[in-house]
Amino acid sequence: MRCPKCLLCLSALLTLLGLKVYIEWASESRLSKAYSGPRGTLPGPTPVSPEPTLPANLSVRLGQTGLLPLASWNQQQRRLGVLPSGESAEAGGCQAWGAAAAAEIPDFTSYPEDLRRFLLSAACRSFPQWLPPGASGQVASCSDSDVPYLLLAVKSEPGRFAERQAVRETWGGPAPGIRLLFLLGSPEGEGGPDLGSLVAWESRRYSDLLLWDFIDVPFNRTLKDLLLLAWLGRHCPGTHFVLQVQDDAFVHTSALLGHLQALPPSWARSLYLGEIFTQAKPLRKPGGPFYVPGSFFDGGYPAYASGGGYVIAGRLAPWLLQAAARVAPFPFDDVYTGLCFRALGLVPRAHKGFLTSWPADRVADACTLRRLLLVRPLSPQDSIRLWKQMQDPQLHC
């Protein structure tokens, strides 16, 4: 051997390199196990945490291959280029698109009224903010020095004052790096009392209500998602993460923050995190809130996070808007979000700390909730009781 010292150095370097690779692999493996929820995570078409992409043809991404079903949604998606962006009064605008789509469904008149109304206006996604007479915008934009690390975007309805106040007094209260917003439709709803003056007072008092001028019904929750994403792009583009959640949820905010801060950067960039359903199918029994006629949609749902509460990376907001312009409307907001993520080539991550179907006969206790990230549904009274218990320094679990 001409240079035994060189060989010794080379051997040491190779050993160190192998040790580094093993440590990184072991660390990634442990983090992966932490994400395996009760329903698992559906294997995706792309590697772990890819950058989003939006191919010219979405058929393969959305499973529209082979013999195309005759159901309306499947047919619309195969033909869809981009949803109309014009106003409803314009030729070819959103109302005209909905009417044409409905005309192709042979049993459309047998659909539940709420579903018919949704489908007729499902392409209409441009709505002004609702403001009381003479008022200006009540929600401030994010400043350069005050961009939230975590935005709590809570879907509520105008009459749910108690639920919103409970959130403010518990897990949605002021904290460094966190901002709270409630997403609502018009308080001047059909068939109910005019809540405009009460909601206007609440908006002035707290400055945390994002209101838009559309009817606030369950099938319009997707509008709240899309209008929030557009608002983020204009007023708060640097937000790191967004928790989209119902107002009857209870969030262990500090635990959620700690979890997000510990994520590998590659995971955080394309995050879609919650309680994941991987093999859900449409419910065909008429009369239920999640009924889907066979003539409207054929096939299984994509992997999606329960709409009770999930986290997305803030940087994905413009990507999701682009995807939504090319994914045919669907009545359920969480399924539609799953479709948009699938269109981008991204997959959700399951976490066992998200429980969005807490049994009604099971009493929630503070020790149980300390080990979780999000639970729903809980009443405002239960949320306040549990929050006080969790803040008690004498609590022993």
Residue 32 confidence (pLDDT): 35
User: For residues 207 and 210, what is the distance between their CA atoms, to the nearest angstrom?
Assistant: 9
Q: For 343-390, write each residue's pLDDT tens digit.
A: 999 999 999 999 999 988 888 899 999 999 999 999 999 999 999 999
**Does residue 371 form part of some domain?**
no
Q: Which residue has the higher pLDDT, 196 or 48?
A: 196
**Range with top average pLDDT, 128-132, 287-291, 341-345:** 341-345
Say whether both 162 and 273 belong to one domain.
Answer: yes
Residue 21 confidence (pLDDT): 36
Contact 181, 245 (CB under 8 A): no
> Residue range 301-317: average pLDDT?
98
Look at residues 143, 135, 140 and name the one whose alpha carbon lies nearest to residue 210.
140
User: For residues 127 and 93, what is the distance between their CA atoms, to the nearest angstrom?
Assistant: 14
Residue 138 confidence (pLDDT): 72
- Predicted confidence band of residue 11 (pLDDT cuts 50, 70, 90): low
Rg, Å, the chain Cα set: 23
Torsion of CA 378, 384, 387, 389, to 10 degrees: -110
153 Cβ contact partners less than 8 Å away, ≥ 6 residues apart: 181, 183, 228, 242, 243, 244, 245
Beta pairing class for 241-246 and 304-313:
antiparallel
Q: What is the mean pLDDT of the chain?
A: 86
Residue 86 confidence (pLDDT): 57
Hey, which residues does 129 pair with through a beta bridge? 212
> Residue range 298-323: average pLDDT?
97
Q: With 60 as the cut, is the pLDDT of residue 24 above it?
A: no
Say whether both 218 and 110 belong to one domain.
Answer: no
Say whether both 117 and 183 belong to one domain.
Answer: no
Reading the block at residue 70, the tokens are 């005759």
Residue 271 confidence (pLDDT): 98
Say whether both 167 and 281 belong to one domain.
Answer: yes
> Residue range 29-51: average pLDDT?
41
User: For residues 331 and 341, what is the distance between their CA atoms, to the nearest angstrom?
Assistant: 16
Reading the block at residue 308, the tokens are 């009770």
**Does residue 73 form part of some domain?**
no
- Predicted confidence band of residue 10 (pLDDT cuts 50, 70, 90): very low
Contact 245, 251 (CB under 8 A): yes
Contact 396, 366 (CB under 8 A): no
Say whether both 159 and 100 belong to one domain.
Answer: no
**Does residue 169 form part of some domain?**
yes
Say whether both 203 and 110 belong to one domain.
Answer: no
User: In the sheet that 178-186 helps form, which strands lie side by side, from edge to edge?
Assistant: 209-215, 178-186, 150-155, 241-246, 304-313, 272-277, 349-350
Q: Which residue has the higher pLDDT, 135 or 91?
A: 135
In the chain, % of residues over pLDDT 70: 85
**Does residue 304 form part of some domain?**
yes
User: For residues 228 and 16, what is the distance between their CA atoms, to the nearest angstrom?
Assistant: 48
Q: With 80 as the cut, is the pLDDT of residue 18 above it?
A: no
Contact 162, 230 (CB under 8 A): no
User: For residues 9 and 376, what is the distance between their CA atoms, to the nearest angstrom?
Assistant: 58
Q: What is the CATH number of the domain that holds 347?
A: 3.90.550
Say whether both 164 and 214 belong to one domain.
Answer: yes
Say whether both 169 and 110 belong to one domain.
Answer: no
Beta pairing class for 250-251 and 374-375:
antiparallel
The alpha carbon dihedral of 175, 351, 311, 184 has a sign of: negative
Residue 29 confidence (pLDDT): 37
Reading the block at residue 362, the tokens are 């099971």
Total domain count, the chain? 2
Q: With 70 as the cut, is the pLDDT of residue 220 above it?
A: yes
**Does residue 43 form part of some domain?**
no
Say whether both 110 and 215 belong to one domain.
Answer: no
In the chain, % of residues over pLDDT 90: 72
Reading the block at residue 270, the tokens are 């394309």
- Reported residue count of the chain is 397
The whole-model pTM stands at 0.85
> Residue range 11-33: average pLDDT?
41
Burial label for 122, CB within 10 Å (0-12, 13-18, 19+), is buried
Say whether both 173 and 222 belong to one domain.
Answer: yes
User: For residues 394 and 182, what is the distance between their CA atoms, to the nearest angstrom?
Assistant: 33
Q: With 80 as the cut, is the pLDDT of residue 89 above it?
A: no
**Does residue 281 form part of some domain?**
yes
User: For residues 172 and 308, what is the distance between their CA atoms, to the nearest angstrom?
Assistant: 16
Residue 41 confidence (pLDDT): 36
Boundaries of domain holding 293:
150-352
> Residue range 317-323: average pLDDT?
98
Tally of CB atoms within 10 A around 127: 16
**Any long-range contacts for 111-119 (C-beta under 8 Å, 24+ apart)?**
111/293, 111/296, 112/286, 112/291, 114/217, 114/218, 114/219, 115/219, 115/291, 115/293, 115/296, 115/331, 117/219, 118/219, 118/220, 118/329, 118/331, 119/296, 119/329, 119/331
**Does residue 137 form part of some domain?**
no
Considering only 107-116, 320-329, 357-366, which range has the smallest mean pLDDT?
357-366
Phi-psi label, residue 310: left if phi above 0, alpha if psi -120 to 50, beta otherwise: beta
**Does residue 168 form part of some domain?**
yes
Look at residues 336, 322, 350 and name the one whose alpha carbon lies nearest to residue 62.
336
| Three-class secondary structure of residue 174 per DSSP | coil
- Predicted confidence band of residue 232 (pLDDT cuts 50, 70, 90): very high
Considering only 109-113, 138-142, 189-193, 295-299, which range has the smallest mean pLDDT?
189-193
The alpha carbon dihedral of 8, 11, 13, 19 has a sign of: negative
Say whether both 110 and 241 belong to one domain.
Answer: no
Hey, which residues does 156 pair with through a beta bridge? none
Say whether both 98 and 154 belong to one domain.
Answer: no
User: In the sheet that 354-355 helps form, which strands lie side by side, from edge to edge?
Assistant: 250-251, 374-375, 354-355
